[in-house]
Chains A and B, each alone.
Chain A
Amino acid sequence: MAGSENKYKSDGTLIGGALEWVDARFPATSLWKEHLSEYYAPKNFNFWYFFGSLALLVLVLQIVTGIFLVMHFKPDASLNASGVPVAFASVEYIMRDVEWGWLIRYLHSTGASAFFVVVYLHMFRGLLYGSYRKPRELIWIFGLLIFLCLMGEAFFGYLLPWGQMSYWGAQVIVNLFSAIPLIGPDLSEWLRGDYVVGDATLNRFFSFHVIAMPLVLLGLVAAHIIALHEVGSNNPDGVEIKKHKDANGIPLDGIPFHPYYTMKDIVGVVVFLIVFSAIVFFMPEFGGYFLEFNNFIPADPLKTPPHIAPVWYFTPFYSVLRAVTSDFIPFLWLFIAAIGMICVRPSKLPLLVKLGYLGFVGAMFVLLGVPAVLAGWVGIKLTSIVFVGLEAKFWGVVAMGASVVIIGALPWLDHSPVKSIRYKGPIYKIVLALFVVAFFILGYLGVLAPTPMRTLVSQICTLIYFGFFLLMPWYSQIDKCKPEPERVTG
C-alpha cells in the first residue's frame, strides 16, 4: 500500500521538502491517492450520488454546532428560581440571550432533520441501483449500523431540551424495553437510572448524545468508507467497472474521485445549503415537524400532552409499532408463514424440512387463522397461549425492531440476476413503488392520533413493508430482467 512509488520526492522548494519529510514518517501522499486522487469512481454517477457526501457534511455541521451548544446547555432537570427546569431554561437562554445562539441551535435542530432526509435518500439510492449486492454487503451493514446509531443519537438528543415531547417521547421509548420478557422492567429501570424519566436520565442521555454515540458514529462512518474504497463504488448501471481496466490497471469507466467528484459534490453542497438555509432562517420549526410545538412547554411528569407523536423521521417505524394490536397478531403470523412457504418451496432444502414447514404453517392456520377470522376473541386468547403469554406490546416492539433490522438482510434477499433498477423487470418497479408509498403512509399516520380506520391502514402498510423484503427471494427470481450492459452507459 504505502510503497516507495507513493512517497513524495521533494522538488527542492520549502513546501516540497516539508512534504517529503512528512511522507517519510506518515503515509500522507498514499492516503491522499488511495482515497481521493487515485480512487477511481464510475463516470456515470447521477443525482442520487450526492447524498453520501451530503451526509458527511451534515455530520460535520452537527458536531461543530453541537460543540458550541454544549458551552451553554445545562443537563439539569431540577427547577430554577422561577420554577422552570434548568435544562429547558438553558435552551431558552441559548435562544434569547447567547449571541447568535438562536442560529447555532436552529442549525443543530434543522441539521438533525436534514441528516435523516439525506440518509433516507442515500438508502433509497441503494434500493434503486442494488448497491447492497455482492461484494458490497458489509458497506450496507455498516450503513445500517450508522442508521441505527443515528436514530439513537437523535433520540438521546431529543430529551435534552426537556420539553413535554422530550419527556414523554423518552418515557415511551425507554418503556419499549420493558416489553422484553423477564429482564425488561429491570432493563428499562437501568436505562433510566430511576423509576421514572428524571434528572438521572437527562444526564446520561446528555453523556450518550455528546460522547458515546458520536464516537461510535465516527468509527462506523470510517468503516463504511474504508469498505467502500476497498471494493469500489457501485453505479446507476449496477455493473462492475473493475472488469475492464486499461494497461495501467485503471478501470476504463472510472474517473479519479478528486477532482471530478469533489467538484460535482460541491455543486450538490451549494444547492443543499440554499435549501437548508431557507429552512433555518424562514421556517426552523417546519410547521411543527422539525421542532414539535408541545416541546415549547417544559416537561411535566404528571401530564401527558393530549397528542404525542415522535419526530417525523421515526414515524414510519412508530406506525409499525402501533399497528401490532392483539387482533392483528394472528394475521401477522399467517402472513410471515405464508411468505415462508413461497420462499421455501423453490429452495434446495431437503423435502423433509419443506414438509415439516408446511405442517407448521398448516397448524398455524388451524390454530390461529380460522378462529381469528371466525371470532376475534378466540384468536386473542389463542395467541396469548401459543406465544407463551407474550402480548401485543412485545410483538409490537419486535415488529418495530424487525422493520429496521430487516434492511440489513437485503443483500441476501435479492436474488435478481441484475443489480440496477434500469435492468430489473416490471415487478421490482411496482413493488418498490408500493414500498415507498407504504413507507410514506406509515410515516404520515405515525404523526396522527390513532383511530380504528388509521390502524387498519397502518396494518396493511406494515404487511406491504415486510412483504417488500420477505417476498424478495421469490419475486426477484421470477421478474423479467433485461440484460446488463458490459460497460456503463452514459
Chain B
Amino acid sequence: MSCDEKVDCGRRRLLVTTAAIGGVGGAVVATPFIKSMLPSERAKAAGAPVEVDISKLQPGEMLTVEWRGKPVWIINRTDEQLASLKKTDGDVADPKSEKQMQPKYCQNETRSIKPNLFVAVGICTHLGCSPTEKFKTGAESGLGADWPGGFICPCHGSTFDIAGRVYKSKPAPDNLEIPPHVYLSETTILIGEDKKGA
C-alpha cells in the first residue's frame, strides 16, 4: 500500500481493514446460500434400501427396480451368457474389475455374488444415461456379427459386456457400478445394504 504525505495513513489503514472485514462478512453470508443447494435432509433420507423378489425371474430375463432414483438391473444370466465373459476378457478395459466399481464380494469373474444373478446400477459411467440391453448375439443385435450380448449406451455409444464391463476405447471410463446388496433368502435381494437385518 503506497502512502504518500497527502494521505492520512491511519485513516487509509482503517479504510482497508473495514473493507477487508466487510469482504469476509460477504463471503460468510454466501455460505448459507451455497449450502442451501446441497441435497436436503429429505433427499438424503430417501436413499433407503429396496427389497426385490426375484422368484419369477427366468434365465435370460431382466428386472429393473428403482433405488435412490436410479435404475438397478437384476439379470438372471444364462450359461451361454456366462460363457461369453471368457471371450470378452481381452476386449474390455478392466477385465479383472480392479477399479472399485463394485463391493469386494463382487470383484470376481462374473461381478456378482451368485454367478448367474447380476445386479448393477443401470447408469452409464460416462454421463449418466441408462444403457439399453442388447442380449441378442451376433448380427441380429445390429452391433456386428461377433457381438456376444451385453449393453449399449444410447447417448455416446459405450458398450458393456454381460457383466457390465466396459469395452476398450469407449467414452465410458469405468465398468458399471455394482450396488451393495445381499440375499435375504433364495428369492429375495436387498439392494443398498450389505448386511442382513439392517
Task: Say whether B156 faces chain A, with CB atoms less than 8 Å apart.
Answer: yes
Contact between B39 and A306, CB atoms less than 8 A apart: no
Task: Kindly specify which of A46-54, A150-158, A193-201, A482-490 makes contact with the partner chain.
Answer: A193-201
Q: In the complex, what residues of A have CB within 8 A of residue B157's CB?
A: 449-451, 455
Interface residue from A200, A307, A325 paired with B154 (Cβ < 8 Å): A307
Flag A440-470 by CB within 8 Å of B: 1 or 0 each: 0000000001110001000000000000000
Task: Say whether A171 faces chain B, with CB atoms less than 8 Å apart.
Answer: yes
How many residues belonging to A are interface residues under a CB distance threshold of 8 Å? 40
Closest partner residue, chain A, to B43 (CB atom): A194
Task: Say whether A308 faces chain B, with CB atoms less than 8 Å apart.
Answer: yes
Task: Say whether A123 faces chain B, with CB atoms less than 8 Å apart.
Answer: no
Interface size class of B (residues with CB under 8 A): 20 to 34
Q: A195-B39, A195-B47, A306-B132 are in contact. Are A171 and B154 (CB under 8 A)?
A: no
Contact between B129 and A196, CB atoms less than 8 A apart: no
Contact between B168 and A380, CB atoms less than 8 A apart: yes
Q: In the complex, what residues of B have CB within 8 A of residue A302's CB?
A: 64, 66, 71, 122, 130
Say whether chain B's binding surface is mostly helix, strand, loop, or mixed: loop
**Min CB gap B123→A, angstroms:** 9
Task: Kindly specify which of B53-61, B110-118, B169-177 makes contact with the partner chain.
Answer: B169-177
Task: Say whether A235 faces chain B, with CB atoms less than 8 Å apart.
Answer: no
Closest partner residue, chain A, to B72 (CB atom): A302
Closest partner residue, chain B, to A393 (CB atom): B173
Interface residues of A in 183-203 (CB under 8 A from B): 189-196, 198, 200
Interface residues of B in 26-57 (CB under 8 A from A): 34, 37-40, 43, 47
Q: In the complex, what residues of A have CB within 8 A of residue B12's CB?
A: none
Contact between B39 and A193, CB atoms less than 8 A apart: yes
Task: Say whether B127 faces chain A, with CB atoms less than 8 Å apart.
Answer: yes
Alpha-carbon distance A302/B50, docked complex (angstroms): 15
Q: In the complex, what residues of B have CB within 8 A of residue A204's CB?
A: 37
Contact between B39 and A308, CB atoms less than 8 A apart: no
Task: Say whether A399 faces chain B, with CB atoms less than 8 Å apart.
Answer: no
Q: In the complex, what residues of A have CB within 8 A of residue B126's CB?
A: 175, 393
Task: Say whether B128 faces chain A, with CB atoms less than 8 Å apart.
Answer: yes
Alpha-carbon distance A325/B167, docked complex (angstroms): 12
Interface residue from B39, B69, B132, B168 paired with A304 (Cβ < 8 Å): B132
Closest 4 CB pairs of A and B: A196-B69, A450-B157, A304-B130, A175-B128
Given A190-B37, A325-B169: 4 more A-B contacts, CB < 8 Å: A172-B127, A175-B128, A303-B71, A451-B157
